Amino acid sequence: MKNTANIIFFGAPGAGKGTQAKKVSYELKIPHLDTGNLIREAISGGTELGKKAKEYVEGGNLVPDDLVIGLIREKLLELKGNNFKGFILDGFPRTIPQAEALGNMMKELNLQITKVLNVQAPESILIDRLSARRLCTNKSCGAIYNLFTKKPQREGKCDHCGADLYQRKDDTAEAARQRLKEYHSKTAPIETYYRKQTVLADIDGTKDPQEVYNKILEIIPLN
Ligand SMILES: [Zn+2]
């Protein structure tokens, strides 16, 4: 049987795991299971789970773990029937109960998580990256910049329309610190959980994105 790459990207907000997950999915053609998309698809498809999810979403509530796991399970069953190459998760699991539920479901489907890629960066870098976004004040322009990855040519001014740029309240250093605090209390314990299962691989997320990507290719199993 050929290798499948059943991968979880794990790391603090700002570590760059989402960017890498998208790149790996695109270049290696391994499906990216985005839980937000799975929920939207199920709702618009009107499936049994979709109908339940709809009630939560319309009530303004979070879709519960068992329902999200159910959606991932359905997707995996669909993928398994058809030249299965593996899957990528990022942003899930976020809590230990979610990680445990995912593990049980994988066992039931006779699948294993092959790698959990732990993308790491020190707090100071995470805060810089999370507070680097700038938006154009001109509503009809709506351009978005990032002081690291997509810098405006003139400081504080929009390249497209010349209007002033501003920083959203959720993008400030203070908001970033709050997000990281939440991450450390709820999500970080998963690192120990997967390290015990010896599927965790540490990745230095401070390097430039191409270097990080090359490192990931060395680690994940390929066909
Ligand atoms: Zn603009």
pLDDT, one tens digit per residue, over 125-166 is 999 999 999 999 999 999 999 998 899 999 999 999 999 999
Nearest Cα to Cα of residue 167 among 122, 135, 120, 145: 135
Burial class (CB within 10 angstroms; exposed 0-12, middle 13-18, buried 19+) of 62: exposed
Alpha helix (H) residue ranges in the chain: 17-28, 35-45, 48-58, 65-80, 96-108, 123-130, 173-186, 189-196, 209-219
The CATH number of 5-122+187-219 is: 3.40.50.300
| Residues whose CB falls within 8 Å of the CB of residue 150, separated by 6 or more in sequence, listed in order | 144
179 counts as catalytic: yes
Tell if the pTM clears 0.75, that is, is over it.
Answer: yes
168 counts as catalytic: yes
Tell me the CA–centroid distance for residue 17 and ligand 1, in Å. Answer: 28
**pLDDT(117) > 90:** yes
Q: What is the pLDDT of residue 205?
A: 95
Tell me the CA–centroid distance for residue 136 and ligand 1, in Å. Answer: 5
